[in-house]
Amino acid sequence: MKIPEIIIHETESLLQASQLSRQFGQDGKLLAGGTDVVVDLKQNRYYVQHLISINNFHALKKIDDINGTLKIGALVTSRELENSACVRKKCIALSEAAASMASPPIRNTATIGGNIAGGIPSADLPPSLISAEAVLHIYNDGHERQIPLKDFFVFVRETKLEAGDIITFIEIPPLPERTGIAYQKFGLREANACTVAGVAARITLENNRIITSIITLGAVAPTPLIAIKASQHLQDKCPDDEIIKEASKIAAEEARPIDDIRGTIDHRRQIVQTLTKRALHLAIKRANETG
């Protein structure tokens, strides 16, 4: 479908972009990589008359390690996340998730901020970021606030972003010693097909027992979902095959998938169970390697 005529506004500052966003309201959209916005416009998912480009903000295209905290600009692309030695060292699950996204041309353009801001349940990056306890920095008209990513999503394509809000940075705190994190997904063969299910698992070990576990499910609920019962089931347990099997089954029960062209509810629960098992095994392996 042909996109109706749209006015693109090139902005020179966050303040200008934020003020334009507030001015246009629902008739405007921020434009960074554009991989979601352009597709949505072509598919007539919505129509806006104004696109507000924030591509000139080079400060938001950096990845920094600040005293162990990973600070990622919202305009960093999936390809840059995939290839960053800093990201692989600090949060390898995020690198894995970025590498699994769509096709290479899309990864070259899609940004981490856009992947988060869209609120799409099948987005690949949020589960790993949530398990890593990432925090969003959000700018609005000269002011900044922070929101833990786990509290950011409300429903399908609905987030806590308000008019004038711009995600600027994503911060990932240092992972504790003997912590491993991993991401596993299942998708259809088509390069641009949505993820059917994704699982991020984070494990911290002490004296051969699990002292922290955060399992986050993607694409199987209206928003990324922390499998609380499955995570709690691992608490203070030895990381053996049986306990991993039990936790994986619980995670599948916590999932809230729907029937659609990508799979039935039962099939997707089975996928969640398998992916959780794989992610936990890999996270535990990595936790042991860091010890």
User: 127: buried, middle or exposed (CB in 10 Å: 19+, 13-18, 0-12)?
Assistant: buried
pLDDT at 1: 54
Whether pTM exceeds 0.75: yes
DSSP symbol at 175: P
| Matching residue, tokens 């995670």 | 251
Second CATH level (architecture) for the domain 179-290: 2-Layer Sandwich (3.30)
50-53 vs 7-10, strand pairing mode: parallel
Give residue limits of the domains in the chain: 7-52, 59-172, 179-290
φ, ψ for residue 249 (rounded to 5)? Answer: -65, -40
pLDDT at 2: 60
Three-state helix/strand/coil letters over 39-106: HHHHCCCCCCCEEEECCCCHHHHCEEEECCEEEEECCCEHHHHHHCHHHHHHCHHHHHHHHCCCCHHH
What is d(CA 126, CA 97) in angstroms, rounded to the nearest whole number? 9
pLDDT at 189: 53
What is d(CA 83, CA 61) in angstroms, rounded to the nearest whole number? 14
Domain 59-172 and domain 179-290, same fold? Reply is: no
How would you write the pLDDT of the chain (291 residues) with one tens digit per residue? 566 689 999 999 999 999 999 999 999 999 998 888 877 887 777 889 999 999 999 999 999 999 999 999 999 999 999 999 999 999 999 999 999 998 888 999 999 999 999 999 999 999 999 999 999 999 999 999 999 999 999 999 999 999 999 999 999 999 999 999 999 999 875 545 679 999 999 999 999 999 999 999 999 999 999 999 999 999 999 999 999 999 999 999 999 999 887 789 999 999 999 999 999 999 999 999 986
**Centroid of chain to Cα 274:** 20
Fold for 59-172, please state it: 3.30.465
Fold for 7-52, please state it: 3.30.43
Give kind and range of the element (H or E) at residue 269. helix 265-290
pLDDT at 134: 99
Q: How many residues does the chain have?
A: 291
What is residue 13's three-state secondary structure?
A: coil
| 174 residue type, one letter | P
What is d(CA 82, CA 51) in angstroms, rounded to the nearest whole number? 28
Q: Hey, what are 94's tokens? A: 């995020």
How many CB atoms are located within 10 Å of the residue 11 CB? 21
What is d(CA 13, CA 82) in angstroms, rounded to the nearest whole number? 28
How many CB atoms are located within 10 Å of the residue 154 CB? 13
